[in-house]
């Protein structure tokens, strides 16, 4: 808790609180009984709830209902998309063994791709990014054109989870279409803050998840064109177009749909409000820590960056130390670094953008959401000077000892 007695939550890009409407829907559905695959009245009622949710999500994201395949979340959807596309293309033509992706993908996509390389003989081709964290389109174009008949699929996140930088998805699709290569995009971070239209995008598959949109953890969806037939990961009852077998979580799906309806419906006003909060946060950080570096695209808007993410490097500090010092003050944020056997590792995103290990370790991500207020931003700015000074002293002691 901070001095006001409340937690300041600035980690909405990790997960955002459920909207009250979704909580209410989920509670109502949890009180009901019915397997959506059963033929009796309770089963038919459950199926109706699922199909109405499917139709609503499809409408909000510019897809056909039959293109919405429910999964347990973004990680499963990404695995189904990239592994499923790879295996199905391999079955058609064993020469198609390349997967093209960006150097800044979330581990929910990066790890399935590297798994394919290790276990399935895939050749993986990583597209570099510029200093703002945006892919170099000319590099992608040259990579694909060098051997297009060998490319099984291209996968490219819509917006980066650490920087908030928006990727040129339309250009990626244009490159792929020339060679009839399927394209998948992880739109988990983008879905709540950008106007996404699956059909208009030209994508073959797109990942979304509920808990980034004010819905529950444990449910997401892969939007995938009817004409595309990836190889399933799970086999069983044949649910979800036979692409994702398993008993359907009716309450989760109903809450997911309600969250999508609320969040996408309010997107315009939410984006405006949160962009102003982000600017307040950035101005405040620069005022109290003048040498702080704001990373990513400096321009706002749907072609540049998400409005809710501020990624900041604090020279001379360890991000992990600052995170824990802020946490002790009741202020919650995140660091791009990951832990491997208890040893902090620098963010692969920052390394791909050209930062060295020291700068990559000295960064924090502050992410805003639908419950964020000016008081949250002000609490961070009030606590930051002392936290920064203490973290800087600690880092100096470590380097001189």
pLDDT tens track for 306-347: 999 999 999 999 999 999 999 999 999 998 654 443 456 788
> Which of the 8 DSSP states describes residue 159?
B
Average pLDDT over residues 301-307: 94
Please tell me whether residue 110 adopts helix, strand or coil conformation.
helix
The CA dihedral of 86, 72, 248, 242, to the nearest 10 degrees, is 0
Smallest Cα–Cα separation from 136: which of 177, 112, 172?
Answer: 172
Q: Where in the chain is the domain with CATH 3.40.640.10?
A: 20-264
**Other CB atoms within 10 A of residue 268 CB:** 10
Q: Where in the chain is the domain with CATH 3.90.1150.10?
A: 8-17+267-400
Q: Which residues contact 146 (CB under 8 A, 6 or more apart)?
A: none
The Cα 235–Cα 243 span in angstroms is: 8
The share of the chain scoring above pLDDT 90, in percent, equals 89
pLDDT of residue 36: 94
Q: Are 321 and 395 in contact (CB under 8 A)?
A: yes
pTM of the entire predicted model: 0.94
> Which of the 8 DSSP states describes residue 290?
T
Q: Is the pLDDT confidence value at 105 over 70?
A: yes
| Strand 151-155 to 183-186 pairing | parallel
pLDDT of residue 342: 47
Q: Are 217 and 196 in contact (CB under 8 A)?
A: no
The CA dihedral of 74, 50, 231, 142, to the nearest 10 degrees, is -50
Confidence grade of residue 395 (pLDDT, cut at 50, 70, 90):
confident
Chain segment 140-178, per-residue pLDDT in tens: 999 999 999 999 999 999 999 999 999 999 999 999 999
The Cα 363–Cα 350 span in angstroms is: 9
Q: Are 384 and 375 in contact (CB under 8 A)?
A: no
Tell me the CA distances in angstroms from 94 to 117, 148, 152, one per residue in order: 14, 14, 9
Element of type H or E holding 20: helix 20-30
Q: Are 365 and 335 in contact (CB under 8 A)?
A: yes
Q: Is the pLDDT confidence value at 6 over 90?
A: no
Based on its alpha-carbon atoms, the radius of gyration of the chain, rounded to whole angstroms, reads 22
CA 304 to chain CA centroid, Å, is 16
pLDDT of residue 360: 84
Chain segment 25-34, per-residue pLDDT in tens: 999 999 999 9
The residue ranking higher by pLDDT, 385 or 396, is 385
Smallest Cα–Cα separation from 155: which of 110, 200, 90?
Answer: 110
Q: Mark 45-71 as b/e (b = at least 16 C-beta within 10 Å).
A: bbbebbeebbebbbebbbbeeebbbbb
First to last CA, the chain: 33
Fold type of domain 8-17+267-400: 3.90.1150
CA angle, 195 as apex, 190 and 199 as ends, to 5°?
100
pLDDT of residue 358: 83
The residue ranking higher by pLDDT, 358 or 322, is 322
The residue ranking higher by pLDDT, 281 or 340, is 281
**What rounded mean pLDDT belongs to the chain?**
94
The size of the chain, in residues, is 401
**Would you call 158 exposed, middle or buried from its count of C-beta atoms within 10 A (0-12, 13-18, 19+)?**
buried
Smallest Cα–Cα separation from 280: which of 306, 300, 310?
Answer: 310
Catalytic residue numbers, as ranges: 339
The CATH number of the domain covering residues in 20-264: 3.40.640.10
């Amino acid at each position: 808790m901070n001095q006001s007695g409340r937690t300041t939550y600035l980690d909405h890009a990790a997960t955002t609180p459920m909207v009250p409407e979704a909580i209410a829907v989920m509670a109502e559905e949890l009180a009901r009984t019915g397997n959506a695959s059963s033929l009796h009245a309770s089963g038919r009622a459950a199926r109706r709830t699922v199909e109405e949710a499917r139709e609503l999500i499809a409408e909000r994201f510019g897809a056909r209902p039959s293109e919405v395949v429910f999964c347990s979340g973004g990680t499963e959807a990404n695995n189904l998309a990239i592994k499923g596309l790879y295996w199905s293309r391999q079955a058609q033509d064993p020469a198609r063994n390349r997967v093209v992706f960006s150097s800044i993908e979330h581990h929910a996509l990066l790890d399935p791709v590297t798994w394919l390389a290790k276990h399935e003989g895939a050749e993986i081709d990583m597209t570099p990014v510029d200093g703002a964290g945006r892919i170099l389109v000319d590099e992608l174009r040259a990579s694909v054109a060098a051997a297009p008949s060998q490319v099984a699929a291209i996968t490219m996140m819509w917006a980066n989870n650490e920087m908030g930088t928006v990727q040129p998805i339309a250009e990626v699709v244009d490159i792929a279409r020339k060679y009839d290569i399927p394209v998948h995009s992880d739109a988990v971070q983008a879905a709540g803050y950008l106007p996404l239209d699956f059909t208009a995008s030209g994508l073959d598959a797109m990942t979304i998840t509920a808990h980034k949109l004010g819905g529950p953890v444990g449910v997401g969806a892969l939007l995938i064109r009817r004409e595309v037939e990836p190889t399933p990961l799970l086999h069983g009852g044949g649910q979800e177009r036979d692409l994702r077998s398993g008993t359907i979580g009716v309450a989760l799906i109903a809450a997911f749909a309600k969250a999508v309806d609320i969040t996408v419906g309010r997107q315009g006003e939410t984006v405006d409000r949160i962009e102003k909060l982000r600017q307040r946060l950035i101005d405040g950080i620069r005022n109290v820590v003048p040498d702080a570096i704001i990373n990513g695209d400096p321009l706002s808007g749907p072609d540049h960056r998400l409005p809710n993410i501020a990624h900041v490097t604090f020279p001379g500090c360890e991000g992990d130390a600052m995170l824990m010092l802020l946490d002790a003050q009741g202020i919650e944020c995140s660091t791009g670094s990951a832990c491997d056997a208890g040893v902090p590792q620098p963010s692969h995103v920052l390394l791909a953008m050209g930062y060295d290990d020291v700068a990559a370790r000295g960064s924090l991500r502050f992410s805003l959401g639908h419950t964020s207020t000016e008081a949250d931003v002000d609490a961070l700015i009030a606590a930051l000077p002392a936290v920064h000074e203490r973290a800087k002293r600690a880092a100096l002691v470590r380097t001189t000892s």
